[in-house]
Amino acid sequence: MYLEHFGLDEPPFRITPVTVFFFSGANRGEILDALIYSLSEAEGIVKVSGEVGSGKTMLCRMLLERLPEHVETIYLANPSLSREEMLYAIADALGLSIDGKRVGIVMHSIQNKLEEKAREGKRVVVLVDEAHAMPLDTLEELRLLYNLQVGNDKLLQIILFGQPELNAKLDQPNMRQLKDRIVHHFHMQPLSRNALESYLMFRMRAAGYRGPDIFSPNAIKLIADASNGLMRRINILADKSLLSAFVEDTHNIEVRHVQAAMRDSELKPARSLAGKKLLMGSAAGMLLLTGLAAWWLLDRPPARTSAQPSPAIVPQPDNAPVHATSEKTNPATSSLAPPPQPAADNLPLAAMPASIASVSPATGKAGLYEQRLAAGKQLLEQKKAVASIQLFFNEEIKRERIENFLRRAEGLGKLSEIYLLPAKFGGKDGLRVLYGAYPSIHAARDAINELPPRYQETFTASVYAF
């Protein structure tokens, strides 16, 4: 109806996944690249989680298009299958004749077919959409299929796409064997307000629009608040806002048009429970991209910027980050004065030391890795910070790559804001990389928009509550 009015070739905000409208911002592109890499080079089961309408199905469709030719896919769109029905579906996708055959025979036929494809140099991957709805028995059968191998090579790879309820299902004691085989976890974060602005105009231009930006800043803010950053809700509100502007015979989307769309969609500008869970849930529920994608980012060449000294600490409002002071002397020998105590609960936290040296016996010097690890330890021991911003985490400690990241942070003048925290991921020793120390979750959430531009573009940051 409004296509000609806005000069569009097709509707830009359809909720049906169409890969030409895939938005690679907000780390969607990085997740896609990491999935392709994990399927081409690695073993293990992969899990992708995200709230309803966060773009999981679109990502799945993009993966189907982007996989190399030697990777064959089996797409299970209906997860509500019994274990027998799933085996029959996989056998049918492999081109096997299974009519009237018992489950044991079907399983044996699947193994023989997978071995044949392995000899041909092909990989087979099963993509399970809406995996949170899959019965436990069926999930267990998937694990048994994953166990099939020839020599040291697995015959089948599996990716589970599901809502956060999938995490709760995998936490059940009888699912621990399946959970232990999940080697990569990806979580699709809601779009930030900055990413939302890019997303709206990306979809408009992908649909043929060639004019100037039409969504006003206040309209974007209202869409962000009402949608909680979820793509499906964004698409619904943006589509109805365009229709409202068309009826009014204007080409600019203002607050009133979004308000009309909200009334028609029965959406309110309040953060949902799901949105709160993303900010305040357990550490597992708040995790970002796995270390796989983060490692690629850490290997990028450092920016050619000179280090700038951190500003002196001054009293900050409640929503301001707790900046670390800068030490110009050798951090291994400098004397650190204890931080001042806050006068009242509503005052900002005291400044944290820039670096707490851990001297290497071999060199007599403190490396950046030891400094920021010690700084993270003191941050926890002081128990003054309520929250920080998690840039990324690694499920394995890759010290050299972390050192590369820290050197770039030093070049940006942001080293004193970085804290390293040891963490356990499925029994493995890992590491969280945090930015800043804040007196409240609200302050940390607001500070995400104030991160250095490079960090905003590279990482999907989230609030980490101590």
First to last CA, the chain: 51
Q: Flag whether pLDDT at 292 surpasses 70.
A: no
Q: What is the pLDDT of residue 175?
A: 92
| Closest listed residue to residue 74, CA positions, set 147, 19, 120, 129 | 129
What is the distance between the alpha carbons of residues 21 and 13, in angstroms, rounded to a whole number? 9
Q: What is the C-alpha to C-alpha distance for residues 241 and 311, in angstroms, rounded to an integer?
A: 44
Check whether 235 has a pLDDT greater than 70: yes
Q: Output phi, psi for 38, to 5 deg.
A: -65, -35
Please tell me the predicted confidence (pLDDT) of residue 427.
62
Distances (CA, A) of 129 to 14, 30, 166: 20, 20, 11
Which amino acid, 427?
A: G
The pLDDT tens digits of the residues spanning 322-355 come to 333 333 333 333 333 333 333 333 333 433 333 3
Amino acid making up residue 261 = A
Res 209: pLDDT: 93
Tens-place pLDDT, residues 31-67:
998 888 888 766 679 999 999 899 998 999 899 888 8
Question: 7-37 pLDDT, tens per residue?
Answer: 999 999 999 889 999 998 888 888 998 888 8
Given a contact cutoff of 8 angstroms between Cβ atoms, the answer to whether 26 and 199 are in contact is yes
Selected from 3.40.50.300, 3.20.20.10, 3.30.70.1070, 3.40.1550.20, the CATH number assigned to the domain covering 315-335+346-465 reads 3.30.70.1070
- Pull the structure tokens for residue 116: 């044949």
C-alpha distances in Å from residue 346, one per residue of 177, 279, 389, 466: 46, 21, 20, 18
Highest mean pLDDT pick, 152-156, 193-197, 202-206: 202-206
Q: How is 386-431 classified by DSSP, letter by letter?
A: -EEEEEEEESS--HHHHHHHHHHHHHTT-GGGEEEEEEEETTEEEE
Model confidence pLDDT, tens digit, residues 404-463: 889 988 888 999 999 999 887 656 778 889 999 998 877 888 888 889 888 876 776 777
DSSP-assigned letter for residue 304: -
Residue 223: what are its φ and ψ, rounded to 5°? -60, -40
- CATH class of this structure's domain 3-19+191-273: mainly alpha
Q: Which CATH architecture has domain 27-188?
A: 3-Layer(aba) Sandwich (3.40)
Sheet of 157-162: strand order equals 71-76, 123-128, 157-162, 45-50, 182-188
Mean pLDDT of 183-211: 91
Q: What is the pLDDT of residue 363?
A: 42
**Domains of the chain: which residue ranges?**
3-19+191-273, 27-188, 315-335+346-465
Domain 3-19+191-273 identical in fold to domain 27-188: no
**Per-residue DSSP letter, 10:** S
| Residue 43 token pair | 């073993």
